[in-house]
Structure 1
Amino acid sequence: MAQETAGKADHLCVLIHGLWGNPSHLSYLETALREAYPADRLHILLAKSNAYNHTYDGIHLGGERIASEIESQIKTLSDSGTTIRKLSIVGYSLGGLVARYTIGLLYATGLFDTIEPVNFTTFATPHLGVRTPLVGPHSYLWNVLGARTLSTSGRQLFLIDTFRDTGKPLLAVLADSSSIFIRALQRFKHRSLYTNIINDRSAVYYTTSISKTDPFVDLSAVELNPLPGYNGVLLDPEDPVKPKQLPQLSLLERLKVGSMTTLQSIPFILLLGIAVPIGSVLFLLNSGLQTFRSAQRVKLHESGKAGIGIEQYRIPLIEEARAGIGRVYAGMAGDVGEEYLPTPSETDEDDDGDDKPQDGVGTSTADLKGGDEAVTKRHRGHQGQFPTLALTHEQFEMIENLDAVGFTKYPVHIRKVRHSHAAIVVRSRWRPGFDEGKIVVGHWVQGFEL
């Protein structure tokens, strides 16, 4: 962890890892940032208080740990004669949600009255949770079991929790327009996110991009618009994709294509038939153990015996809190519903170029409160041509409120690896194929304002 105390730097950048992660997962981000900004220009904190299985303990508890870690780092620097005047936060995967909780606490405790929030960025963060909108037994099983195998964090990610006295899931509270978390986001000068369009099996496109649609389900049916100068890895945030006019296939041709797809899938299906039963048993056994250990850590934390003074963080989360208006969650996971909504909602029917915010990539609003340069790029024209996913009521509300704050959204097209979730931040710099992630990180560093 870099804890530079010398030089004239007055800007602190905090990097927060994801689920089951550790600080080394973001070492490439730290290195790339350090190469651009030496120690006398920028302080870097690789947050460590949520490492490994501590990420089971809940987004809120992780946020309290990170807030305490940041305040401790600022005090350490101050004691050495360095005054921090600017703050940037970067979250990867679950770390992006922890970051959103953290900044709400820092805002509420008054830190932003003396320190300017500058850059807020997430990489592959499931802002809308990880509940799948798809139908079928596999999706249903995922929504039910997944929520119950990651302890508190799992329930929060699948939106089946009720957070404290709000009557709402934690992720809905994070995106409530009257919450300290949204007000904290608004204070940042720049807000951006990077979202994988394919091959991210941990956090899929719709949730990491805060979108009602997923235009990238079938890449053969769309035309991608790359951002010039990035080898096709980054798409233009203003106009990333449009539907492709496909030729009509005969019945025989469609059967041929379907047969080839099935044949190509056989080896993978056979592998799953062997690996999944064994892996599932081991995973469930470990989940039970980690859930028990997490409960013990949470109890220690809540009692104030974990070394963190939590009293300062137990503050009203929502102004004029509307307790009890959340949905009822009983036993099963969320709404399973249809894969796509049968008809577009009224807010989707705005492709005529008016000033309504568009869903999906590059949404903006006319009422941004985050500083003179906090302007989010708008994507017009094509999102309404893609079907709306069957998300929950809370997820649609989250999209509306987060888009009202405004993010610049960068779709990322990583092709060389089958699991782009790790590649987007170059979690292992020696892994073959992760060089496309280095392009993403390079773009982020170029846009980082000191």
Structure 2
Amino acid sequence: MTYEVNFDGLVGPTHNYAGLSYGNVASLSNATSVSNPKEAALQGLEKMKAMHDIGLKQGIFAPHARPSLAPLRRVGFSGTDAQVLEKAYKHDPILLRACYSASAMWTANAATVSPSIDSSDGKVHFTSANLNCKFHRSIEPETTTNLLRAMFANAQYFAHHQHLPEQPFFGDEGAANHTRLADSHGSKGLQLFVYGSSGFNSDIKGPTKYPARQTLEASQAIARLHQLDDKQAIFIQQNPNVIDQGVFHNDVIAVGNENVLFCHDQAFIDQTSSLTKIRQAYIGEKPLHIVEVPTHAVSVEDAVKSYLFNSQLITLPSGEMMLVAPEECAKNDNVAAYIEYMLGAKNPISQVRFFDLRQSMQNGGGPACLRLRVALNEAELKAVNPEVMMSEDKFIQLSAWVNKHYRDKVTEQDLADPSLLQESYAALDELTQLLNLGSVYDFQRA
């Protein structure tokens, strides 16, 4: 038996709205709003618990230590922790906000994962994303790798790769631009890598307004590192026009699960040709279902506002497929009408469940952003650090931990408060014990 385990990012105690992500419409439009880290973390835990309760395997991905003081010290802010924060707040508040960002909660960007059934060495492969398009995310890869190694430590089953070179030619945003299509999670599959531009080939035209964060070269490198057969990897370009409309990752316009690809009709460049290539490359025996949402039913603007495609598409223990969608989908008339139509149409998606993830959504991340998908067979699942798996007791422990340590309001002015740093570091020190993570954090204290 093989399971798809979703490892959801636990929202960190410094969650705030800094508007750092150019190209992410929700992030920019909510810049400087007052955030509620406690509510955000509890919303995420409720979703994790709900997935566990319906019989899925659910994991927890710990937040990163924030603020990250090392970048601030590296660019000349010196003194005690409090002095560093005070100077940065006064002289470079944008940089300070970046070093406080809790963006690691969106674990769809943490790494790209290939299951053992697809890799020639029979191991599950992880490559942490370099996230070099945005400074606040580019400081994540080393901690991400440390966390993955603490969660998937057994070298008999798991292979970990260093993030790709930190140059724009190899821009890599992780699983947000990668999905896997297969008859089942335990069957050999086709890994679909979606890129926005090429680092080296100027003939491949990218967007003109917003940056293309994933390069073809990065996707090809990951396929090599993960020892994928050429027949099991396909590289398709995202439509640059939708990137310029705020579709900063492919998972904002398309999502796949087993033998279903759910996408907008403007998701890919030369859509008809791209979908034909995917159909021809599919290696399963079951029919591949492509559920293509027409623009006249759901515009790109509605897709971005509602995060319809940033929903999770999951297979229930019954074998039915469910769309796990943000509440914003139910509140958008066009999107809600299409979902109702889709559930009655001839395709494997038969259920929908809506979740309140407003704190994450306002910063530009929906249900699919919050989770990293890892397909594991029975032996591999047993080799996972058991303390990072959701259970009744773990939910109670983590909810109590959040209520003990998290603030219910963080403003821009709070980022200059050294007590927020102290609270955050103390909380994560306790979390490493709850999740048995060892020494994954370098708190860089002075």
Which band: TM-score by shorter chain?
under 0.3
Q: Which structure has the highest strand share of the two?
A: 2
TM-score if structure 2 supplies the norm length? Answer: 0.26
- Greater RCO, 1 or 2 (C-alpha within 8 Å, sep 6+): 2
CA radius of gyration, larger in: 1
